[in-house]
Amino acid sequence: MKGQLMKSEAKKIDGAAPSAYGSGGLEGRKNTLRAQKDVSASDPGPKNLTLNRQNPNSNLPPATDHGTVPPIWYSFDLVHRRMQEGGWTHQVTERELPSSKEIAAVQMRITAGSYRELHWHVADEWAYMLAGEARVTVLNPDGTMFIDDVEEGDLWLFPAGYPHSIQGLGDNGCEFLLVFNQGDFSEESTFLLSDWIAHTPPEVLAKNFRLPPESVAKLPTDQLYIFRGNRPESLAADIAEATADARAKSPSYTFKLRSMAPTKKTAMGEARIVDGKNFPVSRKIAAALVTLKPGGLRELHWHPNASEWQYYIQGSGRMTVFNSSEQARTMDFNANDVGFVPAVAGHYVENTGDTDLVFLEMFVAPEFIDFSLNNWIRHMPATLAMDHLGLDSEEIDHIPSAKEIVL
Burial class (CB in 10 A: 0-12, 13-18, 19+), 70: middle
DSSP per-residue letters across 335-346: TTEEEEE-TT-E
**Poorest-confidence range of 71-80, 178-187, 245-254?**
245-254
Confidence at residue 158, expressed as pLDDT on a 0 to 100 scale: 98
Catalytic residue among 361, 367, 394, 404: 361
| Residue 14, pLDDT above cutoff 60 | no
Condensed to tens digits (0 to 9), the pLDDT of residues 120-132 reads 999 999 999 999 9
CATH number for 264-398: choose from 3.30.360.10, 2.40.110.10, 3.40.710.10, 2.60.120.10. Answer: 2.60.120.10
CA dihedral over 148, 154, 159, 163, signed as positive or negative: positive
| Residue 195, pLDDT above cutoff 90 | yes
Residue 81, SS3 per DSSP? coil
What residue ranges do the domains of the chain occupy? Answer: 7-67, 79-255, 264-398
| Residue 47, pLDDT above cutoff 90 | no
Tell me if domain 79-255 and domain 264-398 are identical in fold: yes
Integer-rounded Cα Rg, in Å, for the chain is 25
361 noted as active-site residue? yes
Please, which residues bridge with residue 125 across strands? 158, 180
Condensed to tens digits (0 to 9), the pLDDT of residues 111-165 reads 999 999 999 999 999 999 999 999 999 999 999 999 999 999 999 999 999 999 9
CATH T-level fold of 79-255: Jelly Rolls (2.60.120)
Mean pLDDT over all residues of the chain?
92
Measured at the CA of 223, the angle between CA 206 and CA 139, to 5 degrees, comes to: 70
State the SS3 of 185-229. Answer: CCHHHCEEHHHHHHCCCHHHHHHHHCCCHHHHCCCCCCCCCEECC
Cα–Cα distance between 89 and 372 in angstroms, integer?
37
Q: Is the pTM higher than 0.85? A: yes
Number of other CB atoms surrounding residue 147 within 10 Å: 21
